[in-house]
Amino acid sequence: SQRREQHILNFMYKVIRNQVPSYVSSIFEEFKNPATRRTSNTEVYQIPIRSTAQFIKSPIPNAISLWNKLPKPLLEYALKFSLPAFKKESNKHYLPKRIISSTSLINLTRSQEITLNRARVDLFLKARLFAHQFTFIDSAHCSCGKPETLKHLFFKCPLCQINRHALMEEVNNNFYNKISQLTNMDDKLNFLLYGDETLSLAELSKLFIIVSNFLHDNK
């Protein structure tokens, strides 16, 4: 899982930075990459080329493999910065990727398509239009007086409470197995705007119609 992999990366950071007991570092010593002593190669440890699949899946080789799959800039970052800084930077690598579900492939009306795409590119809210200096927008705040963001609109605004309840009821009725697994607002918002790769076109259509109607009702 993502959390388990992050724990392994944190452990490997400590190995790379010599922040583990000597008996642990001695285990990794046999995997030391000689090239790192002569070049700027970021693969400090390497798995022997002729290794069995079972061996590669064992804890130490698996940890080394996971570490070496990180982007080179992140590997270099680990050599220079603290563990908390590395955790923050590596978390970005594991952030869920947005699924760009083209609205042109989905059964939406033109109005629904425009509404959803404007929300995706952050041009739906008054606050963003205000930031882009649209002259007909005189405030960056929601009608409730709070700073206007998509998370505020979908999850917090008291003026949208009735519509929000209807939205979440429909989403839960149709996508409970998906939405119930998401624990924070960023992930939930990402799902509402983009769906995910496991949804069929019919399911994406249903989700995006629900969401675009909510947006339309809360302009």
Whole-model pTM: value is 0.51
Q: Mean pLDDT of successive 10-residue segments in the chain (219 residues)? A: 81 91 87 61 71 79 85 82 85 55 72 86 62 49 82 91 94 91 88 86 91 89
The domain spans of the chain are 2-94, 103-217
Residue 47 near residue 57 (C-beta atoms within 8 A): no
Q: Residue 78 burial by CB count (10 A; 0-12/13-18/19+): exposed, middle or buried?
A: buried
Residue 60 near residue 31 (C-beta atoms within 8 A): yes
- Per-residue pLDDT of 158-193, as tens digits, reads 999 999 999 999 999 999 888 988 888 888 998 999
Q: Provide DSSP, 115-128.
A: HHHHHHTT-SSHHH
Q: How far apart are CA 15 and CA 12, in angstroms?
A: 5
Q: Report CA 9 to chain centroid distance, whole Å.
A: 17
